[in-house]
Amino acid sequence: MPEAPAATATVRTPAAPGGTYGTHALEVQDITKRFVTTEGVVTAVDHLSLAVAPGEFLSVIGPSGCGKSTLFNIIGGLVGDYEGRVTVAGETISGTHPAIGMVFQEESTFPWRTVLENVAFPLEVKGMPREERFERARRFVSMVGLDGFERRFPSELSGGMRLRVAIARTLASEPKILLMDEPFAALDEQTRLLLGDKVLQIQQALQQTTLLITHNITEAVQLSNRVLVMTYRPGRLKRIVDIDLPHPRDSEVVSSTAFGRYVAEIWHDLREEASLGMREDEELRRGERPSGAAA
Ligand SMILES: Nc1ncnc2c1ncn2[C@@H]1O[C@H](COP(=O)(O)OP(=O)(O)O)[C@@H](O)[C@H]1O
Ligand SMILES: [Mg+2]
């Protein structure tokens, strides 16, 4: 397979609101991550560079297995032993960092704790006094629209509500950068759209730098300032698409002509990569070595 040059995405600062001239909220510099498996070495992320402006909403889209979660886990400090650098506001970080908060799926709530206790939990771990942490938890429970549900347990809530608990819990630590790895994957389409609106409202209110992994193109275009398309293994940057749609946006925007054009454009790129992924999956099932793995 021919080696494509590693693409670098730069931000035209101060494009994003709340941005500071010349300072990126987050920078990923030439990250490469290889996993040694019984099948050989898998390059999950390959020479990927990316800069995110303060307050920007960036979505990462790419076929299953292209390295999206690996990239986020590197940024969030959950995966180590990689080449390259991650910087937050110009400072190199390694391991978990208080500026970075992660949201996974709704299943990450603790079933034995109430909504309020779930949201207050990370603050308790940090040693915040009881009254202060519950006050702060209440503020974020309200922000995600769960007033009146503070004393409920996760089992008494819908999937969309549990996800909002997980989001509030991460927000309560007031991270400067929020990483969300396919948070909406388990939800039905309507809930996903409405929750997307909610996430965007919160992001605009807090001016929080947000990165979202999704395989849903509509969601990516609805929420983002930019959409990053990754190649199928090894995960490289294929393209960055600027989403030039007016704010404030809500899910109504999905019916506009401009919106449809963005979706078509991104699907064109994604289709190529997804087809590669499908072909490799078939090769694997026939017992041939996938091209992403080297002996
Ligand atoms: N801990 C690990 N050990 C070995 N291989 C891994 C590990 N984590 C991810 N991979 C491999 O790296 C590639 C990218 O995985 P991942 O980042 O989860 O992709 P995505 O989130 O885009 O679906 C896949 O081939 C996956 O099998
Ligand atoms: Mg993943």
Higher pLDDT, 82 or 20: 82
Give the Å distance between the CA of 66 and the centre of ligand 2. 8
Per-residue pLDDT, 19:
40
pLDDT reading at 4 higher than 70: no
Ligand 1 atom 27 nearest Cα = 65
For residues 222 and 195, is the Cβ–Cβ distance under 8 A? Answer: no
For residues 120 and 133, is the Cβ–Cβ distance under 8 A? Answer: yes
**Are 50 and 137 in the same domain?**
no
Q: What is the pLDDT of residues 27-74, one digit of tens each?
A: 999 999 999 999 899 999 999 999 999 999 999 999 988 999 999 999
Give the Å distance between the CA of 181 and the centre of ligand 2. 7
Pocket test for ligand 1, best of 35, 278, 284 (most atoms within 8 A of CB): 35
**Residues in the 5 Å CB sphere of ion ligand 2:** 69
Per-residue pLDDT, 191:
87
pLDDT range class, residue 17, cuts 50, 70, 90: very low
User: Which atom belonging to ligand 1 lies closest to the Cα atom of 45?
Assistant: 14
* Domain end among 174, 191, 219: 174
* Domain end among 126, 149, 174: 174
The whole-number average pLDDT for the span 1-15 is: 44
For residues 130 and 96, is the Cβ–Cβ distance under 8 A? Answer: no
**Structural domain harbouring 111:** 100-174
Q: Which residues contact 289 (CB under 8 A, 6 or more apart)?
A: 39, 40, 283, 295
**Are 181 and 225 in the same domain?**
yes
Instruction: Give, as one character, the DSSP assignment of residue 144.
Output: T
Q: Is 270 helix (H, G, I), strand (E, B) or coil?
A: helix
Least confident range of 3-17, 189-203, 217-231? 3-17
* CB-count burial class (<10 Å; 0-12, 13-18, 19+) for 84: middle
Q: Is 70 helix (H, G, I), strand (E, B) or coil?
A: helix
Least confident range of 112-116, 227-231, 250-254? 250-254
Which secondary-structure segment (H or E) carries 134?
A: helix 130-143
**Are 169 and 185 in the same domain?**
no
User: Which atom belonging to ligand 1 lies closest to the Cα atom of 68?
Assistant: 22
The whole-number average pLDDT for the span 183-208 is: 88
Q: Give the number of domains in the chain.
A: 2
**Are 196 and 166 in the same domain?**
no
CA 145/CA 161 separation, integer angstroms: 9
**Are 18 and 108 in the same domain?**
no
For residues 200 and 57, is the Cβ–Cβ distance under 8 A? Answer: yes
Per-residue pLDDT, 101:
95
Bin 231: left if φ > 0, else alpha if -120 < ψ < 50, else beta.
beta
pLDDT reading at 172 higher than 60: yes
The whole-number average pLDDT for the span 201-226 is: 92
Give the Å distance between the CA of 64 and the centre of ligand 1. 9
Q: Is the CB of 209 under 6 A from ligand 1?
A: no
Of the candidates 169, 247, 241, 239, the one whose C-alpha atom is nearest the C-alpha of residue 205 is 247
* CB-count burial class (<10 Å; 0-12, 13-18, 19+) for 185: middle
Q: Is the CB of 249 under 6 A from ligand 1?
A: no
User: Which atom belonging to ligand 1 lies closest to the Cα atom of 36?
Assistant: 4
**Are 137 and 191 in the same domain?**
no
